[in-house]
Structure 1
């Protein structure tokens, strides 16, 4: 595994991290989550040198943090741990965002307790609260650093304006946002802003929420409880069009002797040393495949060819529903 620096912190994190959400949330119902396999995947991640783990308090309403605690209990020093706060659940199961300092204080204590750790390495606000100045949220988060409960601060799905305002209050180490061959809107200003300020861009959903894996060849392949069923990119004509892009990428990847998923991760790594993708998986075989992408070197000609594929196969549909899109790049 190769390693990259986290912002200006001097910390080394694996060039490919591990998104842990799918072990407890979003891609199925309770019976689809196999704790034994998930724990084995976490153990293997450390063996492969993947030390950058990403979770959030909303993933399974705390279940994902509890899952990670079972490995952290004996291997805390081997993991650079990131979690997030802000989404709260109503009784009907729907959620809303609360970036208030008051809620943050509750949330961080709950995360520390579930994770069974004394300090969180990287603490994100999961979104930007449109009703609360980002300076207030980040100012309260900065207090956690002073108290020793959090080491570094991050933002998720923030606009250029929010990034700069937040960074003026306290150094921001990382911006987590969706970035992949299927979602490139960060290239319109956000990436330039993070580079100007020395902030690492942590790319979530770097495999297009599974599109790059080639495992989803029809919407009928998605199980009950899989939130992708509601996403525009996975519906009707949008999905059929996006499959054409996937097929073209798979063909190109095969010519290079790699998988489309590895091609996608290698493409992200080639965008700059300040990019760290965090593909999610709950199975060892996919973890090994993803980790191997760190060894794939794409030439300038390869990158040009990939750009050509994307120009000829436009991505159809937004990445979230209308409600979800209102929460991103804010």
Structure 2
């Protein structure tokens, strides 16, 4: 070994040692405060090994074990204003893998296509360690969204084969129907995906934004691994419309997207926030008008107040509340910032009691939410 090689090896060794000690120290200070020294010590060991706690989506042959927190890629190229260049996004995704994230979520419509291409390039070398999920349903022709839904058999097959190429995979770990197609019964869509599963092109499937009855009908034809829908402290419809109940009954996992309400629950958005005019859908959402943001700031403040006494940020309080709701629930927060990735993953260091989470839930529920979740056209596409 040359002197230069020895020096480089020593530098890497020292860097790994310092990283391990830093993680251990952070986990001890946070975990010890919230969950006791034993939890902090165990979490530090896992963090040093690049591991996160695991959860299982689905059951039986449809089961899929993943990290307790996933990563939503959408905002890296789509619907979230300015974003870092590709090289920076790739570095962040590599860091997420290094920290133990094994569930990464994208979709054909994000871009369209650009998000899948990023995922394929960034995560290729880790495909034996992670799962990259994607979605079909929103129609895209020549790389442009049409605004229509299309789940016809030939379209599902073509989208599957195209996604395999963009993601550089031999099989899709989990293929969601992004939105139900009013022209294609749920049973037919399920049967078409079942054919792709038999062929080995898809391993499991899921649905997004659908009703409890649609879930039941589809699952009877081809067992679902997961249902993905918006769910957070400002939008809890899945608790009352039967979606969570049917997932619990049938052994289907649940993946909350936008678990921090498009970043709002973290407390970083206010009435003066400017959303990118060409690449941010929040400017079209009723809940993100200036007046709505001003009124809803009380909710972000409630999260900050809850977290302040427990050493948590508002984002960690929002994610922690979700994680407490069910052990078969896996949120997929997205970010373009290393500091926010660290913040999100540190949520797993905290252990509040059921009574504490109920305290937060009640405090937020007492504050009226101003503004609808979607505009009328987008709302018509969900809950079918």
Residue 139 of structure 1 aligns with which residue? 191
Unaligned runs of 5+ in 1: none
After alignment, is 199-208 or 80-89 more displaced?
Answer: 80-89
State how 1:103-252 maps to structure 2 within 5 Å.
Answer: 103-188=155-240, 189-224=242-277, 225-252=279-306
The CA RMSD measured in Å over matched residues stands at 1.5
Q: Any conservation in 2 of the 1:219–1:234 contact (CA below 8 Å)? A: no
Instruction: Extract structure 1 runs of 4+ deviating beyond 4 A.
Output: 90-94
Offset at 1:301? 2.5
Offset at 1:223? 2.5
State how 1:10-89 maps to structure 2 within 5 Å.
Answer: 10-28=63-81, 32-89=83-140
Offset at 1:82? 0.6
Question: Would the alpha carbon gap of residues 131 and 33 (structure 1) be closer, same or farther in structure 2, given more than 3 Å must change?
Answer: farther
User: Could you say which structure has the greater relative contact order, defined with CA pairs below 8 angstroms and 6 or more residues apart?
Assistant: 1
Counterparts of 1:33 and 1:176 in 2: how far apart (Å)? 27
Question: Structure 1 length normalisation: TM-score?
Answer: 0.96
Aligned length in residues: 328
Offset at 1:107? 0.6
1:277 counterpart SS class: coil
Q: Deviations over 1:45-101 (max 9, x none)?
A: 111111001000111111111111123321111111210011124688552211211
Q: Deviations over 1:83-127 (max 9, x none)?
A: 001112468855221121121111111101111111110000001
Q: Any conservation in 2 of the 1:20–1:53 contact (CA below 8 Å)? A: yes
Counterparts of 1:254 and 1:118 in 2: how far apart (Å)? 46
Residue 36 of structure 2 aligns with which residue? none
Question: Structure 2 length normalisation: TM-score?
Answer: 0.83
Q: Deviations over 1:282-318 (max 9, x none)?
A: 2221111111112221212211211221222121222
Counterparts of 2:152 and 2:86 in 1: how far apart (Å)? 33
Q: Any conservation in 2 of the 1:25–1:60 contact (CA below 8 Å)? A: yes
Q: Any conservation in 2 of the 1:210–1:216 contact (CA below 8 Å)? A: yes
Q: Deviations over 1:222-278 (max 9, x none)?
A: 222211011010114322211111112112111211111011111000001011100
2:225 counterpart SS class: strand
2:139 counterpart SS class: strand
After alignment, is 106-115 or 213-222 more displaced?
Answer: 213-222
Q: Any conservation in 1 of the 2:134–2:175 contact (CA below 8 Å)? A: yes
Larger radius of gyration: 2
